[in-house]
Structure 1
Amino acid sequence: MKNSDVINKILKYHPQFPDNYAGCDGYKFGDPNAECNGIATALVPTVDVIRRTGELGCNLLVVHEPIFYSTEDYPDWRAGGKNSVYEEKKALLDKYGITVWRDHDHMHAHNPDTYRAETGDNNVYTFKYCRMSPMDPIGACGHPSELTQQKMAKELVAFIQALEKRTVIE
């Protein structure tokens, strides 16, 4: 089975996007047509994650966040500048022949409420943060700032505390 066959199976599971989808998901490095020897997954493709993927004999790494730096992972983001982390990651990816697929937007497109309704699994809860205010500070790559994350953490704690009060005895 090729790396692309594995990814196509993952994409069949995900909600379908239009043909003109132009988000950040996709192959970020390597050969989609290489035979898949093993699959590793990670939230963030750090140097250690890439090294361990290769040491385990896996040549397909499925990640959620960007492999190098920028959100879109454009190959020319460095504009010719030196970056030792980029160079180390690239050297390891080359050494082990690892293909990297980024699975971000598709993963966020799932709706846990639909799963709960379809399966009747009442142990699945959906928590949705309140919409960020335009006044909330933004961190790197458009992610919430530390202040916004603290606000979101307080909302999550309140949600969990409310769930704990819903003890159901069957």
Structure 2
Amino acid sequence: MQITLKPVKSSTKVFKYLEKKGLISVLKPTDKALKTRTKTGTVDILYTSNKRFGSHRLMCIGKRTKKVQLCYHFDNEDFIFINPGNIDYQKLYLVFALDKIDVFSKKLSKNLLSSKDFVAVEIVYNDPNLSFFTMLKKTVHCEVVKDEDKQHPVFFVTESSDLKNNKIKHKDLTITVGD
């Protein structure tokens, strides 16, 4: 028996059909992430894989945080900034410390940090070169939004299912992101 298939172009119609058949799940913002009204936002876990296959989870993040609260993780996490609905989001910034946690902590404890130790990157959505990347382990970072009269931003993160968010105590250090 031989089966010859004629390829079809990717389209919304084809993907909706595959989704209806229970074969795929298209990444799109969840109602929980879009409608959150909490001060900092919400995390909506889309799924966590079975540990026997090497456990990870996929999350939809609705971000409302306006204050920089730095953190780090002991393993990598992947960021996916897609906006399939072309929603007009508030600006989202990803603040990076330019040193990993060990060096950063020493500078913090000695009060040696300055603006030269950080970069705040304005996130772009739907760019194949800039909207998908891995945050490497022990990278000090934080996501914050610009206070605008728009929908707060939503994005996706995939990471190990037991990965902890290690918040850094920096009450004597205030970081702001301005235009």
TM value normalised by structure 2: 0.22
Give the number of the structure with larger relative contact order, counting CA–CA contacts within 8 Å between residues 6 or more apart. 2
Structure with bigger helix share is 1
